Structure 1
Amino acid sequence: MGEYKHGDMDITVQKKTFDGFVNTVKWSVVAIIAVLIFIAIVNG
């Protein structure tokens, strides 16, 4: 096996996946909060 060198691996795909995950979680939280606020206003 070859020598391991820290930082040699191409991680562009992993970075795109992680960025997409963070973006999905962010917008999901915004949507959930909006729905909860809407429910609170309607049931006021």
Structure 2
Amino acid sequence: MAEHKHGTMDITVQEKTYAGFISFVARSCVVLILFTLFLAIFAV
């Protein structure tokens, strides 16, 4: 087997994917909160 050295793998693609996922989740939460407020105000 090949010798593994901790910290030598290039993870820039994974970091970009994770940052995109976090951004998507944060924006989705904002949209859902705004939609919930819209329903609470206007769907009486």
Fold-level similarity (TM above 0.5): yes
How many residues are aligned here? Answer: 44
User: Which runs of no fewer than 5 residues in structure 1 stay unpaired?
Assistant: none
In angstroms, what is the RMSD of aligned CA positions?
0.9
TM-score (norm 1): 0.92
Identity over aligned pairs, percent? 50
Alignment match, 1:20:
20
Runs of 4+ in 1 over 3 A off after TM superposition: none
Alignment match, 1:37:
37
User: Which runs of no fewer than 5 residues in structure 2 stay unpaired?
Assistant: none
TM-score (norm 2): 0.92
Q: Which amino acid aligns with 1:2?
A: A
